A = this chain, B = another copy of it.
Amino acid sequence: MPADAPPASPARDQVFRALADGSRRALFERLCREGELTVARLTDGAGISQPAVSRHLAVLKEGGLVEARPAGRATFYRARADRLAPLDDWTREMRATWHARLHALDDVLRRMDN
């Protein structure tokens, strides 16, 4: 019998969704590499407008992947790479069940009768 399916947590959904976009991943990468950066600084490197950057950062923040630190008229953003855990957990679980299945007996039996 197959194990229960995982609850499909909304937290995981948000993380996957946040990282689905390349521009968002690029922003996250820069924050991981260069530490805290203001929106203006991030906008310089990215090839998109400042409002686009702001909205991407908002999505990342909703996913918990980024934190904002307002300082005067500037706002510094920093990455929270530790919040990538849901992603790791999911892949680990997928690989685990998949690998278990590869060695399972009934899988062999299932293959035998096409």
Contact = CB atoms under 8 A, between A and B. Distances in A.
Contact of A111 (B22, B30, B36, B90): B36
A84 B99 CA distance: 13
Q: Dominant SS at the A interface?
A: helix
A91 interface: yes
Contacts of A81: 91, 94-95, 98-99
Chain A's interface size range is 35 or more
A33 B101 contact: yes
B97 A33 contact: yes
B71 A101 contact: no
B17 A5 contact: no
15 contacts: A8-B25, A13-B22, A16-B25, A25-B90, A33-B98, A33-B101, A35-B107, A71-B114, A76-B114, A81-B98, A82-B95, A84-B91, A87-B87, A87-B91, A88-B88
